[in-house]
Amino acid sequence: MLGRRDPQQSLFSAANLPHRVPADSFYGRMAAVSEVLFSDDDLQDMYCPDNGRPSIPPSLLSGVLLLQFHDDVSDEEAVQRLQFDLRWQVALNLPTDFPGFDPSSLTYFRQRLIEHDQERYAFDRFVKVGRAAGFIPDRVSLLTDTTRTKGAGAVQDTYTLLRKGIRKLLRQLGYTVGGQQRGLSPETQRLVARYVAQDRKAKIDWSDPQQRAAQLKVLYQDAEAALDLALAHLDDADVQSTGWLLVKIMGDDIEPDHQGDPQIADGTAQDRIISITEPEMRHGRKSSAQRFDGFKAAVTTEQSSAIILDIQDIPAAGSDGQALMPTIERIEQHAGVTVEQVIGDGAYGSGANRAACAQHLPDPVDLLAPLATPKDPEVAKSAFKIDLDQQTATCPLGHTVAAIKGSVHDGLPTLRFSFPRATCAACLLFERCVKSQSAGRTVNTHPHESYLQAARERLKTAEFKSTYPLRSAIERKQAELVQHGLRNTRYLGHPKRQLQRLWQAAAVNLSCLFRLCELRKADLNALLACLEPLQRGLSTA
């Protein structure tokens, strides 16, 4: 049953006693709005209306969760700070003798938020405060980028992935209780004894290549045997999911040698699974020299106010630009704004993104992003003058050829331009321009070539050179999020990871709202005025 905070303040309320918490600190400012920061009624649908003991007030738990992610502390440490840290007691308007509660209450509260689709509660609430205060305009310009985050799962080698995968599959098939093992075939009993009854690495000399190869063969054969057992249970979604996981590990990490025996494959497969405990973790790279294991957080802010309008947990592998259009859709849906411009780095400047932004409804989105700089600009594709209307291409030295029909990509036709070998051979740029041993230079258009051409011309304008540097502000916002623990993922599973990102961003946004009030010479009463309509239900969180 829903519990509510008692409006009657305690005689020992920390905020009313002499204390040394600065009024202009995050905790002091949070104390000034503590009564209206969160409302118990906002989350009443998460609780039974007429049965059970009263819960810990959700407005209090929301405040604790916000401070927990602001200070980047564990559940146990958060409860201890409620009891002993004067800053937290002042921020939440608690008495100095507050008894606290069991740390598991925070775990259950986060789970309730996820189960009732309220993980965006604090984040959306503060964005709407920014809208109500006029800090976020109706038409917005966005700054967007991604940053790496470490996954909570253990990174495992191929041997461990196979062993853990077999164990997980057998347990899901029901081979966990001794009584269920009666009547099993000797082979199945061996699998259960090896992987269910125990979970230990094989006792071999791991420095010996022959023993490692023999162990890999055993694991591979046992994985095939476990998958055979799973064939009769494919109607079970969990079995199907784990079976697919095991098949993918075998396909990504193992290949047959010349004798047909399994061996570790050369190189790293794209989208390779690196953890059984967190199957969505991947190897990722922010540069050729910087690899990380985990995920990426896509952060998007409103340019004028620096308020975060979207933060999303995305896979570590793949291009950052794949998250652009879903980000725009979420912002327009949740923030109630119209996106008119997006400024991002080169990862967002693909032809597909430029076309999608130009065709965005009801209004096109202006995508401001650079294009990749070619290694040899004199002979790069950009050095050729391609006339899409006339379907001709002119090389840097003035030779023109007509197009021939190219291939089809994503349902869109392309053009192909082939220059005669004899013409190219007489050119001073031949050695740098032509790579073929028998033909001349060939140039293929992109399916969205017209958008790329327009973008290439825009790069030369003064407007681009003056506007694009604004993008650097997103990196400062990411650095602020990192200070609150963004780099380290606390939880397993996308819903919990996404909740962590949203509440960290909510804490950063609240700090930003405090700064905006001060910067625009408004006191905290202005923020209270923005929050009160939300408490009265005139806006939904």
Model pLDDT for residues 403-426, shown as the tens digit of each residue: 987 777 777 889 999 999 999 999
Q: How far apart are CA 54 and CA 354, in angstroms?
A: 53
- Asked, for residue 407, whether it belongs to a domain, the answer is yes
**122 plus 222 within the same structural domain:** no
User: For residue range 288-301, what is the model confidence (pLDDT) as tens digits?
Assistant: 778 899 999 999 99
Residue 177 has pLDDT above 60, yes or no: no
**pLDDT value of residue 535:** 42
**162 plus 242 within the same structural domain:** yes
**pLDDT value of residue 385:** 95
- Asked, for residue 419, whether it belongs to a domain, the answer is yes
Measured in degrees and rounded to the nearest 5, phi and psi for residue 176 equal: -125, -25
Q: How far apart are CA 98 and CA 412, in angstroms?
A: 66
pLDDT band at 175; cut points 50, 70, 90: confident
User: Which of 259-263, 519-523, 525-529 comes out lowest in average pLDDT?
Assistant: 525-529
Q: How far apart are CA 370 and CA 391, in angstroms?
A: 26
Strands, E assignment, 303-454: 308-315, 338-343, 366-368, 385-387, 392-394, 400-402, 404-409, 412-418, 442-444
**85 plus 170 within the same structural domain:** no
Tokens encoding 373 = 């700089």
Tokens encoding 485 = 């623990």
- Asked, for residue 111, whether it belongs to a domain, the answer is yes
- Asked, for residue 150, whether it belongs to a domain, the answer is no
Residue 239 has pLDDT above 60, yes or no: yes
Tokens encoding 21 = 């918490």
- Asked, for residue 350, whether it belongs to a domain, the answer is yes
**86 plus 223 within the same structural domain:** no
**51 plus 117 within the same structural domain:** yes
Mean pLDDT computed over 99-108: 94
Tokens encoding 284 = 């990722």
Residue 338 has pLDDT above 60, yes or no: yes
**335 plus 475 within the same structural domain:** yes
**pLDDT value of residue 183:** 67
- Asked, for residue 5, whether it belongs to a domain, the answer is no
Q: How far apart are CA 68 and CA 75, in angstroms?
A: 8
Q: How many CB atoms lie under 10 A from the CB of residue 523?
A: 10
Mean pLDDT computed over 458-473: 94
**pLDDT value of residue 8:** 67
**311 plus 166 within the same structural domain:** no
Residue 377 has pLDDT above 50, yes or no: yes
Residue 509 has pLDDT above 50, yes or no: yes
**pLDDT value of residue 366:** 96
Residue 116 has pLDDT above 50, yes or no: yes
**215 plus 84 within the same structural domain:** no
**359 plus 473 within the same structural domain:** yes
The boundaries of the domain holding residue 393 are 381-453
**pLDDT value of residue 182:** 61
**443 plus 504 within the same structural domain:** no
**pLDDT value of residue 486:** 96
**pLDDT value of residue 521:** 62
Mean pLDDT computed over 68-96: 94
By the 8 A CB rule, do 500 and 149 touch?
no
**pLDDT value of residue 522:** 55
- Asked, for residue 304, whether it belongs to a domain, the answer is yes
Q: How many CB atoms lie under 10 A from the CB of residue 112?
A: 17
Residue 36 has pLDDT above 60, yes or no: yes
Strand partners, 416: 404, 444
- Asked, for residue 541, whether it belongs to a domain, the answer is no
Residue 111 has pLDDT above 60, yes or no: yes
**320 plus 419 within the same structural domain:** no
Residue 498 has pLDDT above 70, yes or no: yes
**pLDDT value of residue 536:** 41
**pLDDT value of residue 412:** 85
**211 plus 320 within the same structural domain:** no
Mean pLDDT computed over 366-382: 92
Q: How far apart are CA 130 and CA 307, in angstroms?
A: 8
Q: Where are the alpha helices (DSSP H) in 295-347?
A: 324-335
pLDDT band at 539; cut points 50, 70, 90: very low
∠54-500-139 over CA atoms, to 5°? 105
User: Which of 127-136, 219-228, 382-391 comes out lowest in average pLDDT?
Assistant: 127-136
By the 8 A CB rule, do 27 and 20 touch?
no
Indicate the average pLDDT of the chain. Answer: 89
Q: How far is CA 76 from the centre of its chain?
A: 26
User: Which of 142-151, 335-344, 374-383 comes out lowest in average pLDDT?
Assistant: 374-383
Q: For the chain, what is the domain count?
A: 4
Under the phi-then-psi rule, with left for phi > 0, alpha for psi from -120 to 50, and beta for the rest, what region is 437? alpha
Share of the chain above pLDDT 70, in %: 94
Residue 510 has pLDDT above 60, yes or no: yes
